[in-house]
Structure 1
Amino acid sequence: MKNVVGVGLVLSTLLAASVTSAAEITSAPNIEFVVVDGKEISFDNWAPQQTIELANGTHQLVMRFDGEVKRGSKEVIFTSRPYLFELNVDGRNTTIDIDTRLKTKVQAEHYFDDAQWQAEFDNGDVMPLEAVELKGDGFAAYADMEALVAEYNRANGIIIDQGESKNLNDVLVEVDDQGQASIKGDALSQLKLWYTKASDQERKSFRRWIIDQD
């Protein structure tokens, strides 16, 4: 009987661990997912709210406002530019929202000059998110959101590594008290950092060089 109880306790512990190793991330009404960890998100059916499941760890989310607001007496659709931020998933279900309700187009236009995004956790905690507004160039600037995010990540030394967002500049660059910067970390991490900063042509040349080494 003791063995049975012991097995039950182990299974219960494993099940509890599996439950808390991921969380549901939900968009508030009129907020939509665009790109998650470098991959564009699409949903089969339109819904006022969208939910995805993410494993514990740091994830990169790109989201935007897309909803009805008033212009005079008419209802119009206002779509904001996409905003990029990191979310540390720790097992708590979370809703992503902005910190106010938008009613008019004029209000929305002014609000997104300095929008405040936030994570609302299922235990009632609210955490502001440090968001970056993504700006594309030219006609159809947001037609390829994956490419736009990839370019941002390359410029900022960010990689998506084993399902997590990592800023290699933070990981590998160390600044001492005199303001002198030095590169640290293992060789693999350093290779990842420089690869993110390379141009497409430089990446192709590097891949050809790798093949020549075999």
Structure 2
Amino acid sequence: MSSGWTRRSDDVGMVARWSSHHRFMNTSTSLKEVILKRIVFILGVLAGSFSCAALAAELTLPRSVELLALDGQKVAHTAVVKLPEGQHQFVFRYEESLRFGSHKKKYQSTPLIVSIPFSESTQMVLHHSRFRDYSAAASAFENGTVEWQVVDPQGELTDLHPVELPGNPGFLPYQNIEAAIGRYNRQHGISMSSDRMVMRTVQGQMTTKPQPPINSRQAVTHDASDTQYAGDFVPQIQAWYLQATDAERKALLKWMIEQQ
């Protein structure tokens, strides 16, 4: 009797151990599958990231050029811009301290706008004319004789023809740079998609919409939020003037004279 009971106990123990081992193996297999899937997913993400980085186009800007906006959006200043393939719109300005008599003075141009096509993995560097002093730079920008090019790794030059971006009406015309770009693009039939610039054309000619001339004496409307400046209007104007560029200061002074 006891020996039969012992055999049955041993059989039950073997079954229990086999069942436990089987569950452990199943659990281990499932865990391995989960880990392998995660590893494959992570490797896929990394491979995709490296692939995108390798295929991204790149534009390097000189220290004398400040990038203000890319494809209609204001951006922080950067020396290297990574871009997807396609046509891209840049707004930038020249800014450099140059010899002015016995000392140096910073020259800052009006914002310029230009479109540049990029293919996959293109690497280009922006170049511009060099100036011996402040007056040479001022003269070149006023007369539109500044030369701009992009250079590829093989040293091939492509000429660019940026134009001055018209400012917004009123003083400090470039404080809202995105609004100025939006107005320019509407006037020139340019629409911005999520990743590139699209120009609407008719029979190969870029379409433009006629715009009424801006009357500098036209009253500037303000919303209700502007009333917060009523108490400190003069200090606010002074602060804006000190932060403005040379071009913005000239525009402000011209506008103020026209209001007399």
Task: State the TM-score, normalized to the length of structure 1.
Answer: 0.67
| Match in the other structure for 2:26 | none
CA contact (8 A) 1:83 1:131 kept: yes
Cα RMSD, aligned residues only:
2.8
Q: Give, as a single letter, the amino acid of the residue that structure 2 aligns with 1:159.
A: S
Q: Determine the C-alpha separation between the residues in 2 that align with 1:131 and 1:97.
A: 12
Which of these residues, 55, 64, 70, is aligned with residue 36 of structure 1?
A: 70
1:78 aligned to 2:107?
yes
CA contact (8 A) 1:32 1:63 kept: yes
CA contact (8 A) 1:20 1:92 kept: no
How far is 1:68 from its partner? 0.5
1:27 aligned to 2:61?
yes
Which of these residues, 140, 150, 160, is aligned with residue 182 of structure 2?
A: 150
| Match in the other structure for 1:121 | 152
**Structure 1 gaps, min length 5:** 1-10, 44-48, 176-180, 182-192, 199-214
1:97 aligned to 2:127?
yes
CA contact (8 A) 2:166 2:184 kept: no
CA contact (8 A) 1:22 1:89 kept: no
Q: Determine the C-alpha separation between the residues in 2 that align with 1:87 and 1:117.
A: 12
Greater radius of gyration (CA): 2
1:138 to 1:72, Cα distance in 2 relative to 1, 3 A: farther
Q: Give, as a single letter, the amino acid of the residue that structure 2 aligns with 1:143.
A: Q
| Match in the other structure for 1:135 | 166
How far is 1:56 from its partner? 1.0
Q: Give, as a single letter, the amino acid of the residue that structure 1 aligns with 2:198.
A: K
| Match in the other structure for 1:164 | 196
| Match in the other structure for 1:187 | none
How far is 1:32 from its partner? 1.3
1:121-152 CA-partner distances (Å, limit 9, x unpaired): 12211100121111324421111111101100
Q: Determine the C-alpha separation between the residues in 2 that align with 1:163 and 1:14.
A: 18
Q: Determine the C-alpha separation between the residues in 2 that align with 1:150 and 1:122.
A: 33
Name the % identity: 24
Q: Give, as a single letter, the amino acid of the residue that structure 1 aligns with 2:160.
A: L
Aligned 1:4-83 pairs, distance under 5 A:
18-43=52-77, 50-83=79-112
* Secondary structure of 2:178 counterpart: helix
CA contact (8 A) 2:124 2:153 kept: yes
How far is 1:14 from its partner? 7.7
How far is 1:85 from its partner? 0.7
1:136-179 CA-partner distances (Å, limit 9, x unpaired): 244211111111011000111101113101111x2xx127xxxx
State the number of aligned residues. Answer: 161
**Structure 2 gaps, min length 5:** 1-43, 212-260
How far is 1:18 from its partner? 3.5
1:25-61 CA-partner distances (Å, limit 9, x unpaired): 1111211111100011114xxxxx7111111110001
The higher relative CO (CA closer than 8 Å, separation ≥ 6) is in 1
* Secondary structure of 1:106 counterpart: helix
More helix per residue: 2
1:175-213 CA-partner distances (Å, limit 9, x unpaired): 7xxxxx9xxxxxxxxxxx99x999xxxxxxxxxxxxxxx
